[in-house]
Amino acid sequence: MKSLFLWISGAVLAYSSPSLAFPEWGKDLTSLEASLGQQLTDPYNYEGIVALSNCSGSLVRFDDSLDTDPALVLTNGHCVGRIPPGTALYQRSSRKSFTILSPSGSRLGSVLASKLIYGTMTDTDMAIYELRDSYSTIRQRFDTEALTIARDYVELGSTIEVISGYWRRGYTCEAESIVFSLQEGDWFFKDSIRYSRPGCEVIGGTSGSPIVLAASRIVVGVNNTINESGRRCQINNPCEIDKTGKVTYERGIGYGQQISWLYTCRDESGTIDLKVEGCVLPQP
List, for residues 40-64, the tens digit of each pLDDT value: 447 899 999 999 999 999 999 999 9
Q: How far is CA 30 from CA 16, 36, 132, 139, 163, in A?
A: 23, 10, 25, 23, 17
pLDDT of residue 42: 73
pLDDT of residue 6: 61
Residue 219: alpha-carbon gap to chain centroid: 10
- Give yes or no for a contact between 219 and 74, defined as CB atoms under 8 angstroms apart: yes
What percentage of residues in the chain have a pLDDT greater than 70? 86
Candidates 58, 165, 26; CA nearest to 105 is 165
The predicted-structure confidence for 81-98, as pLDDT tens digits, reads as follows: 999 999 999 999 999 999
- Give yes or no for a contact between 165 and 102, defined as CB atoms under 8 angstroms apart: no
Candidates 128, 160, 154, 143; CA nearest to 62 is 128
- Give yes or no for a contact between 37 and 123, defined as CB atoms under 8 angstroms apart: no
159-260 and 10-147 share a CATH fold: yes
pTM of the model: 0.88
Domain at 10-147: CATH code:
2.40.10
Neighbours of 144 (CB within 10 A): 23
Residue 118 has pLDDT above 50, yes or no: yes
Question: Do the strands 218-226 and 147-149 form a parallel or antiparallel pair, or are they unpaired?
Answer: parallel
Residue 184 has pLDDT above 50, yes or no: yes
Candidates 199, 186, 160; CA nearest to 5 is 186
Strands (E), the chain: 49-51, 56-61, 70-75, 88-93, 97-101, 107-120, 126-134, 147-149, 159-164, 169-184, 187-195, 210-213, 218-226, 239-241, 247-248, 254-257
Candidates 145, 204, 141, 139; CA nearest to 9 is 204
pLDDT of residue 19: 28
Candidates 197, 39, 10; CA nearest to 106 is 39
Q: How far apart are CA 147 and CA 185, in angstroms?
A: 31
Q: Which CATH architecture fits 159-260? A: Beta Barrel (2.40)
- Give yes or no for a contact between 197 and 226, defined as CB atoms under 8 angstroms apart: no
Residues 6 or more apart whose CB falls under 8 angstroms from that of 137 comprise 71
Please provide the average confidence, as pLDDT, over all residues in the chain: 89
Q: How far apart are CA 5 and CA 25, in angstroms?
A: 18
Helix, strand or coil for residue 76? coil
Domain map of the chain by residue range?
A: 10-147, 159-260
Helix, strand or coil for residue 140? helix
